């Protein structure tokens, strides 16, 4: 199952664009930065013998971590938005004069032939749903960094993405510095907003009813990083996935002290008119926050990616909305 923006944009056509396979290598790692390195993943160990020069990302967000470290992949995988190079503005700003990556699609599964034609020396799929069979095929092309051990598909944290990418490209120290910088900003939010601490919060989407994100989803971790507490028993309701739909009988799970709604195409208006939802206290007391139903809205994309490059937008734009919802005053809304 793909992550939620994917659910919201399944009807959008995913198209490829960008540079061809014969262009000069684009990745540039620090030479002599501790290679070879071994990176564990859920299917085995990946050995990166030397600084990779042609990296293909089959995960959906790893390009952000690479560009933050000054590394440009030769190809990225389209998620949503149909951006040139599959780069959102915060990542495009880091591209400089480098050529745009070629764009791959996973709409009908991984494009193994196109990946092979790119002649990669490293394939990265941390934020992905790579299967064991996929992994076998990918490793026949090049060393492949798949999902980490012990997390569900599409459940890897932004810290692990950044640090693993840093290790793979020989820039572990720089990656660690980036992570610590963002974590410091989260600490500042918690200090400035002590009212967040301990308040129950949840992130959901009006996708096919009421879709809630579990504790292992990066978007839910945003809430806990701000100091909020996820509902007890949340993961028992949705199982071992990153999220799942609630039955009408379990709608009371939405009745938390703060509820963040991530939009699904055409779903927000229907949600607000739903009689079951309209009667919950979280709605009547205006403790719900609605991310704008606009796929070009920077906050929408930034919450989707949850990366070292998109998180500054989340920290700047989402925190005031959460503060308005958490203050207990129905007159202020998120």
pLDDT digits (tens, 9 = 90+) for 107-163: 889 999 999 999 999 999 999 999 999 999 999 999 999 999 998 899 999 999 999
CATH hierarchy code of domain 4-171 = 3.40.50.1980
Going by pLDDT thresholds of 50, 70 and 90, the confidence category of residue 33 is: low
Q: If pLDDT is split at 50, 70 and 90, which confidence band does 219 have?
A: very high
Our measurement of the distance from residue 312's CA atom to the centroid of its chain's CA atoms, rounded to an integer in Å, reads 14
pLDDT of res. 332: 66
In 118-274, where do the E strands start and end? 122-124, 144-145, 201-205, 210-213, 243-246, 258-261
| Cβ-based neighbour number of residue 97 at 10 Å | 4
Domain ranges of the chain: 4-171, 193-326
**Three-state SS for 109?**
strand
C-alpha distances in Å from residue 45, one per residue of 26, 37, 40, 142: 25, 10, 4, 13
| Cis peptide, bond prior to residue 36, ω within 30 of zero | yes
**Contact call for residues 121 and 53 (beta carbons, < 8 A):** yes
Q: Give pLDDT tens digits for 1-16.
A: 455 444 443 333 223 3
- For the purposes of burial, counting CB atoms within 10 Å of the CB of 248, is it exposed (0-12), middle (13-18) or buried (19 or more)? exposed
Q: What is the mean pLDDT of residues 40-59?
A: 97
> Do 193-326 and 4-171 fall under one CATH topology?
yes
- Reading the block at residue 223, the tokens are 């809430």
Question: What DSSP designation does 40 have?
Answer: E
Q: What is the pLDDT of residues 291-303, one digit of tens each?
A: 987 778 899 999 9
Instruction: Give the β-pairing of 243-246 and 210-213.
Output: antiparallel
Beta strands per DSSP E along the chain: 37-41, 44-48, 55-57, 75-77, 102-104, 122-124, 144-145, 201-205, 210-213, 243-246, 258-261, 288-290
pLDDT in tens, 248-275: 888 999 999 999 998 877 788 889 899 9
The more confidently predicted of residues 266 and 221 is 221
Counts for the chain of helices (H) and strands (E), in that order: 14, 12
Kindly report whether the global pTM for this prediction surpasses the value 0.75.
yes
What token pair was written down for 264? 């699904």
The DSSP 8-state label assigned to residue 229 in this structure reads B
DSSP string covering 41-108: ETTEEEEE-S--SSEEE-SSSHHHHHHHTT---SEEE--SS--GGG--HHHHTT-TTSPPPEEE--BT
CB-based contacts of 26, cutoff 8 Å, min separation 6: 19, 53, 54, 72, 73, 74, 98, 99, 101
* 3-state SS, residue 259: strand
Q: Which of 214, 209, 221, 215 is nearest to 245 (CA)?
A: 209
* Mean pLDDT value across the chain: 88
Supply φ then ψ for residue 333, to 5 degrees. Answer: -125, 155
One CATH from 3.40.50.10880, 3.40.50.1980, 3.40.50.620, 3.90.1200.10 for 193-326: 3.40.50.1980
Average pLDDT over residues 276-289: 94
The C-alpha atoms of residue 205 and residue 211 are separated, in whole angstroms, by 5
Tokens for 135, please give them: 């992994």
Is 135 in contact with 144 (CB distance < 8 Å)? yes
* Amino acid 18: pLDDT: 34
Q: Give the pLDDT confidence of 190-203 residue by residue, as tens digits.
A: 999 999 999 999 99
Rounded Cα gap, residues 183 and 275, in angstroms: 40
Whether the pLDDT of residue 204 is over 90: the answer is yes
């Amino acid at each position: 199952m793909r992550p939620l923006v994917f659910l919201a944009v399944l009807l959008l056509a995913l198209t490829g664009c960008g540079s061809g396979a014969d262009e000069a290598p684009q990745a540039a790692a620090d030479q002599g930065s501790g290679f070879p390195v071994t990176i564990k993943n859920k299917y085995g160990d990946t050995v990166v013998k030397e600084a990779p020069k042609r990296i293909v990302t089959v995960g959906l967000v790893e390009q952000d971590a690479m560009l933050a470290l000054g590394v440009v992949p030769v190809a990225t995988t389209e998620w949503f938005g149909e951006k040139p190079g599959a780069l959102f503005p915060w990542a495009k700003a880091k591209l400089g004069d480098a050529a745009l990556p070629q764009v791959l699609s996973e709409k009908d599964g991984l494009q193994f032939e196109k990946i092979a034609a790119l002649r990669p020396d490293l394939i990265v799929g941390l934020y992905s749903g790579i299967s064991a069979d996929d992994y076998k095929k990918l490793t026949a092309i090049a060393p492949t960094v798949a999902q980490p051990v012990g997390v569900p598909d599409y459940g890897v944290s932004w810290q692990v993405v950044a640090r693993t990418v840093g290790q793979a490209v020989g820039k572990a120290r720089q990656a660690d510095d980036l992570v610590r910088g963002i974590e410091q900003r989260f600490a500042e939010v918690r200090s400035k907003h002590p009212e967040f601490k301990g308040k129950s919060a949840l992130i959901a989407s009006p996708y096919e009813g009421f879709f809630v994100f579990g504790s292992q989803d990066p978007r839910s971790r945003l809430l806990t990083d701000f100091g909020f507490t996820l509902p007890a028993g949340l993961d028992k309701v949705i199982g071992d996935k990153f999220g799942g739909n609630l039955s009408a009988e379990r709608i009371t799970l939405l009745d938390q002290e703060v509820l963040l709604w991530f939009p699904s195409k055409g779903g927000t208006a229907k949600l607000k008119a739903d009689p079951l939802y309209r009667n919950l206290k979280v709605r009547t007391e205006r403790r719900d926050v609605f991310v704008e139903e606009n796929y070009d809205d920077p906050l929408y994309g930034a919450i989707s990616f949850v990366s070292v490059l998109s998180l500054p937008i989340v920290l700047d734009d989402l925190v005031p909305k959460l503060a308005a919802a958490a203050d207990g005053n129905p007159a202020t809304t998120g």
